[in-house]
Amino acid sequence: MLELHAVSKTFNANTPNEVRSLRGVDLNLEAGSWVVIIGTNGSGKSTLLNAVAGTFLVDEGSIRLAGRVVTTWPEHARAQLIGRVFQNPFSGTSPSLSIEENLSLAARRGRSRGLGWGLKASLIGRMRDEVSRLNMGLEDRLANAIGSLSGGQRQALTLLMATWLRPELLLLDEHTAALDPKSADLVIALTEQVIARDKLTALMVTHSMQQAASLGDRLIMMHRGQIIHDFQGAEKRRLRADDLLARFEEVRRAEQLDESAALMLAERYV
């Protein structure tokens, strides 16, 4: 479904601020799999998602999605294959448009937009059904501006918008990190529902070890722009949050060792 081959990206190349965010990442996603990505700060997990989404073009490597090479496609062209939910609840919706207008924009994701009336009666009927399933009482407020909604409500709507037309790939970028615990649980439950119902292929970044352990069928751990662990099948099912924390501790120790070793070498030989 999604194939990344030797994908690299360096920001601010050849300047003091050079950041090698992705260093030759290889990743192969089966159709219907739900891959969770964890990693330290600055490990490149969000960058990986953005590389797939086309927020920027990668320096090296290739990206294949649903049988097509999308390496050089601009972001808006890839949108016909990809549904996205962002970390910031403000990023996924247009605040001054109404709920129904936002949904009708999503109903044409990746399709041509002409002078057809945007809010057809049949579409509004489906909106009412789908929005009432969120159990937020928004189905009677479809004409209200999104700007008046809470973060949790916006994230739930963004998820609905991203999956309104079945995407080949669903990208979730820490989509509950900015929510209160209750809203986060709700959005996670909705995410599980929609992924199971539509048999979606999903790539999800998270900071929550508990989410990482309990969700998805495969887990990838990233560090310094590389994939350092890849747990699949039975191994992934056995993983607990504590195991993951232990892996992070390992990474941290290895890091310290590198630094102190470098210091020692410098003291002795330089």
Partner 1 sequence: MSLLIGTFTIGLILSLLALGVFISFRIFAFPDITADGSITLGASVAAILLVHNVSPPLASLAGFLAGMFAGACTGLLHTRFKINSLLSGILVMTALYSVNLHVMGKSNIPLLSVTTLVTQSERIGVSLMRSATTLDLAGWEVSVRDASVLAAIALAVAVTGVLLYWFFRTDLGMAMRATGDNVQMVRALGVNDANMIVFGLAISNGLVALAGALLAQYQGFADVGMGIGMVVWGLASVIIGEALVASNRVGMTIVGALMGSVLFRLLVAVALRWGLNPNDLKLITAAFVFCALIVPQFLHKGKVQAAHA
**Site residues (vs partner 1, CB under 8 A):** 53, 74-77, 79-80, 82, 84, 86, 90-97, 101-102, 104-106, 108-111, 113-119, 145, 161-162
Residue 258 C-beta: closest distance to partner 1, Å: 37
Residue 108 C-beta: closest distance to partner 1, Å: 6
3-class DSSP assignment, residue 67: coil
Residue closer to partner 1 (CB basis): 61 or 110: 110
Q: What is the dihedral of CA 161, 166, 169, 171, to 10 degrees?
A: 20
Residue 138 C-beta: closest distance to partner 1, Å: 18
What is the amino acid identity at position 207?
H
Asked if 247 contacts 221 with a C-beta cutoff of 8 angstroms, the reply is: yes
Residue carrying the six token digits 């999605």: 65
Residue 208 C-beta: closest distance to partner 1, Å: 23
Residue closer to partner 1 (CB basis): 50 or 206: 50
Residue 5 C-beta: closest distance to partner 1, Å: 24
- Phi/psi region, residue 24 (left: phi>0; alpha: psi -120 to 50; beta: rest), is left
Asked if 217 contacts 34 with a C-beta cutoff of 8 angstroms, the reply is: yes
Residue 235 C-beta: closest distance to partner 1, Å: 33
Residue closer to partner 1 (CB basis): 105 or 228: 105
Structure token digits, residue 17: 């601020």
Cβ-proximal residues to 105 (8 Å cutoff; 6+ apart), any chain: 94, 97, 118, 161
Residue closer to partner 1 (CB basis): 91 or 232: 91
Residue closer to partner 1 (CB basis): 28 or 148: 148
First to last CA, the chain: 50
Residue closer to partner 1 (CB basis): 1 or 105: 105
Asked if 71 contacts 63 with a C-beta cutoff of 8 angstroms, the reply is: yes
Phi and psi at residue 74, to the nearest 5°:
-70, 165
